[in-house]
Amino acid sequence: MAAFDGLLHHALVLAALLCLPVLAVATATGLLVAILQAATQVQEQTLSLLPKLVVVGVCVALLGAFGMHACEALLLEAIQHMRALVSG
């Protein structure tokens, strides 16, 4: 059971580590676009979506290799502890 708890903890921390930078960048971009829209009084929906889409895409492209290596390490750890996970 300790192997499962450790693996679950590692998976949750990894999920937070992978999602947090993308969410932070999307939130900051949305805030900047909202401030710009409020200042210029231009309320166009595509203007608020397009910058977030581009910035999130760039962030995922830049952090993709790190995320895949981290997921690979988690998978290898799960395979390594497979006997302890199955036997209980």
Tell me if residue 58 falls in helix, strand or coil.
Answer: helix
Rounded CA separation 73/51 (Å):
33
Q: What is the pLDDT of residue 4?
A: 85
54: which 2 tokens?
Answer: 């581009």
Conformation bin of residue 42: beta by default, left when phi > 0, alpha when psi is -120 to 50: beta
- What's the predicted TM-score (pTM) here? 0.78
12-26, 42-56, 71-85 — most confident range: 12-26
Structural contact between residues 78 and 3, judged by C-beta atoms closer than 8 angstroms: no
For residues 33-42, give the mean pLDDT: 89
Rounded CA separation 76/57 (Å):
27
Structural contact between residues 52 and 29, judged by C-beta atoms closer than 8 angstroms: yes
pLDDT at residue 74 greater than cutoff 70: yes
